[in-house]
């Protein structure tokens, strides 16, 4: 019988607990061929939902990496400080590495693969994107010979849960939905990375590298989070036949790439609009395979742990794996943010007086933005607070709408800053 694969785990947090459970308590066949040898974490006293044999615990992550009896390092520390140091150290020692670290892979994936190749090690990162959806494997294997045209994805289970609950519960605002998500374990104590959209930006940059063979820094991506989405927006979207989702989009536009992360109104009949709660969804459109949609849980302990263990299975069964983050780099040009085109939903809070719509329309017309429809709702409870005015535009550019909003917000009739959401009638 072959010697079991010996694993050292760095990080005993939520995902680490899931990995421990699958490798030691699940009864899965992998327990016969994979052995958990050490678990490194600085905090060994904090109660966890999954216990581990105390003899496996250590605070010395470097000792785990350097242990000659350990074959694979599973990195679940997060960030790009200590995590990068230990991943590089493991690869330099010729050890295989499995990581769920999206930020590390988004920033340093190419460099880490070069280090892995130099030392005849393997680097797997399925868990870094979309939790339980095996999208990296799909891009690496099934779609590797095809030409990807576009990716539209819901990549943050926390945000999708929040937007779902705002839709389902009358009057629930974003703050209340965040608190509920935290109580159910779908949101971190500090949810800023999720709500800002940066978590999604890191993930789409990894998919862009794999699918379009182009390096894009997450901070260069056109980004808008969900904190500004109100219950009024969610309710109005439903009335108009849409659902609001935090969408990540990457699309070829001639020799450039349109890449952005932002809330978007999606037609209610679209499959993406029907993806609820902590689920993720990724729609990939290719020349040969055409459109494929992959759906699975993207938040929570077990989906991500399952992806980690899936990578361990891959290490067991595949001696040879791709030797680069992405083959044959294309490095397509990133389309300027101001040139991105779409329709827009525009929400204004205005004074209840004659001439308001004319002044707003004039500001939009000056930027060559055409209005498709207008919805104005009466605020009978307190007219002094103004009335919500919702405008749907025809196709325009991000740059034009931004310039128009700057002009509109300076008008004396505007009581609150304008809020915009993109409309994606066709994904």
CATH 3.30.565.10 assigned to domain 135-299+329-334? The reply is no
- pLDDT tens sequence across 149-196: 999 999 999 999 999 999 999 999 999 999 999 998 888 889 999 999
Backbone angles phi, psi at 7, to 5 degrees: -115, 135
- 324 pLDDT higher than 70: no
The structure tokens listed for 58 are 């250590």
Give the model's confidence band at 28: pLDDT under 50 very low, under 70 low, under 90 confident, else very high.
confident
Q: Share the mean pLDDT of the chain.
A: 92
Do residues 398 and 361 lie in contact, with contact meaning Cβ atoms separated by under 8 Å? no
84 is catalytic: no
Look at residue 334 in the predicted model and tell me its pLDDT: 93
Q: What is the mean pLDDT of residues 222-229?
A: 96
Look at residue 44 in the predicted model and tell me its pLDDT: 82
- DSSP letter at 338 equals G
The total of other beta-carbon atoms located within 10 Å of residue 207's CB is 24
Binding residues: 10-17, 102, 188
- pLDDT tens sequence across 298-320: 867 899 999 999 999 999 887 66
Binding residues for L-homoserine: 188
CATH of domain 5-124: 3.40.50.720
Cα distance between residue 393 and residue 242, in whole Å = 15
Domain boundary assignment for the chain: 5-124, 135-299+329-334, 337-423
- pLDDT tens sequence across 34-62: 999 999 999 888 888 888 889 999 999 99
- DSSP letter at 405 equals H
Look at residue 383 in the predicted model and tell me its pLDDT: 66
Active-site annotation holder among 21, 203, 245, 251? 203
Of 228 and 427, more confident: 228
Do residues 345 and 423 lie in contact, with contact meaning Cβ atoms separated by under 8 Å? yes
pTM of the model: 0.93
Give the model's confidence band at 323: pLDDT under 50 very low, under 70 low, under 90 confident, else very high.
low
CATH of domain 337-423: 3.30.70.260
The total of other beta-carbon atoms located within 10 Å of residue 188's CB is 14
The structure tokens listed for 335 are 């389309």
- pLDDT tens sequence across 362-400: 999 999 999 999 988 776 566 677 889 999 999 999 999
- 204 pLDDT higher than 90: yes
Do residues 22 and 86 lie in contact, with contact meaning Cβ atoms separated by under 8 Å? no
Binding residues for NADP(+): 10-17
Q: For CA atoms 156, 158, 163, 167, give the dihedral sign.
A: positive
Cα distance between residue 267 and residue 240, in whole Å = 9
């Amino acid at each position: 019988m072959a010697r079991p694969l010996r694993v050292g785990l760095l990080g005993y947090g939520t995902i680490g607990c899931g990995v421990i459970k699958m490798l030691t308590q699940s009864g899965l066949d992998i327990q016969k061929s994979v052995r958990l040898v050490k678990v490194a974490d600085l905090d060994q006293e904090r109660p966890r939902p999954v216990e581990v044999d105390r003899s496996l615990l250590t605070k010395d992550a470097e000792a785990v990496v350097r242990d000659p009896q350990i074959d694979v390092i599973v990195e679940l520390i997060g960030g790009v400080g200590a995590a990068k140091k230990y991943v590089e150290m493991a690869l330099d020692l010729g050890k295989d590495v499995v990581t769920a670290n999206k930020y590390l892979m988004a920033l340093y994936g190419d460099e880490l693969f070069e280090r892995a190749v130099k030392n005849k090690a393997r680097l797997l990162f399925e868990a870094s994107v979309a939790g339980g959806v095996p999208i990296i494997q799909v891009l690496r294997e099934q779609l590797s010979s095809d030409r990807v045209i576009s990716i539209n994805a819901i990549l943050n289970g926390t945000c999708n849960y929040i937007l779902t609950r705002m839709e389902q519960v009358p009057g629930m605002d974003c703050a209340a939905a965040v608190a509920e998500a935290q109580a159910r374990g779908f949101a971190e104590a500090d949810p800023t990375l999720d709500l800002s959209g940066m978590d999604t930006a890191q993930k789409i940059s990894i998919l862009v590298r794999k699918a379009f063979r182009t390096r894009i820094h997450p901070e260069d991506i056109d980004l808008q989070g969900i904190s500004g989405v109100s219950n009024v927006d969610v309710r109005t979207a439903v009335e108009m036949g849409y659902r609001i989702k935090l969408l990540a989009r990457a699309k070829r536009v001639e020799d450039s790439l349109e890449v952005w992360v932002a809330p978007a109104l999606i037609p209610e009949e679209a499959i993406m609009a029907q993806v609820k709660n902590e689920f993720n969804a990724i729609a990939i459109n290719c020349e040969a395979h055409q459109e494929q949609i992959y759906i699975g849980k993207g938040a929570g302990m077990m989906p991500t742990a399952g992806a980690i263990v899936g990578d361990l299975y891959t290490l067991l069964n595949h001696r040879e794996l791709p030797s680069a983050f992405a083959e044959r780099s294309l490095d397509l040009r990133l389309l300027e943010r101001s040139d991105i085109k779409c329709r827009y939903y525009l929400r204004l809070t205005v004074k209840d007086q004659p001439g308001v719509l004319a002044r707003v329309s004039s500001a939009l017309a000056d930027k060559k933005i055409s209005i498709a429809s207008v919805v104005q709702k009466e605020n009978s409870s307190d007219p002094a607070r103004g009335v919500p005015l919702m405008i749907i535009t025809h196709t325009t550019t991000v740059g034009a709408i931004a310039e128009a909003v700057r002009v509109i917000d300076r008008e004396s009739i505007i009581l609150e800053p304008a809020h915009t959401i993109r409309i994606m009638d066709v994904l």
